[in-house]
Amino acid sequence: MNNHVMLDIETMGTGANACIASIGLVRFCVSSIGECEIIDTAYYLPKWEGDMDYSTVQWWLTQTVEAQKNLVAMDDKNKMPLSAVLIETVRFVGDEPIWGNGSDFDNMIVLSHCKRLGIKGWSYRNNRCFRTVKNLYAAKAYTKPEIPHHALYDAIAQAKTLVNISVMNGIPL
């Protein structure tokens, strides 16, 4: 049984230096009965830094209040500096394969900020693209997140969807 990590981020932009509003991580594996076994989770609200773009902020204004409220802590004392969040994120990932929802989004944005801040990220060899697998196989396997656009709940739903795809299609993870 190999462990994997699913990463989901919520941002205020779409480029490599996009402002990260929240990070959700879940360590998971395929259980002996072919289900997603959640081993550990982490959720971080960093102090915002990075690029924001108007269209992304406008998009957030159309989302549910429940999704919006999970982007911000009530005050800055509940937020960690982005550098501390990234150090904890890299520590959580360790040397596990790390899945992100897009080959050029979640993983790339986190690693771009790591590079900018002088933080050693995970190996590029561990990057995996959940979006590609999902688009190839997900029709019957999709798991809806408990709160859409909440980084942790999205990461959990994506991990469950990936395991469902793996089991249903005989694809080893």
How far, in Å, CA of 45 to CA of 122, rounded?
Answer: 20
Please write the tens of the pLDDT for every residue from 101-122: 988 999 999 999 999 999 999 9
Token digits of residue 138: 């997900």
User: Is it the case that residue 76 has pLDDT exceeding 70?
Assistant: no
Report the sign of the C-alpha dihedral through residues 71, 73, 76, 78, in that order: negative
Domain count across the chain? 1
Contact 133, 141 (CB under 8 A): no
CATH number where 110 lies: 3.30.420.10
How far, in Å, CA of 25 to CA of 12, rounded?
Answer: 19
Tell me what the pLDDT averaged over the chain comes to: 93
Please write the tens of the pLDDT for every residue from 1-13: 689 999 999 999 9
Using alpha carbons, select from 83, 154, 81 the residue that is nearest to residue 121: 83
**Residue numbers of the domain that contains 162:** 4-169
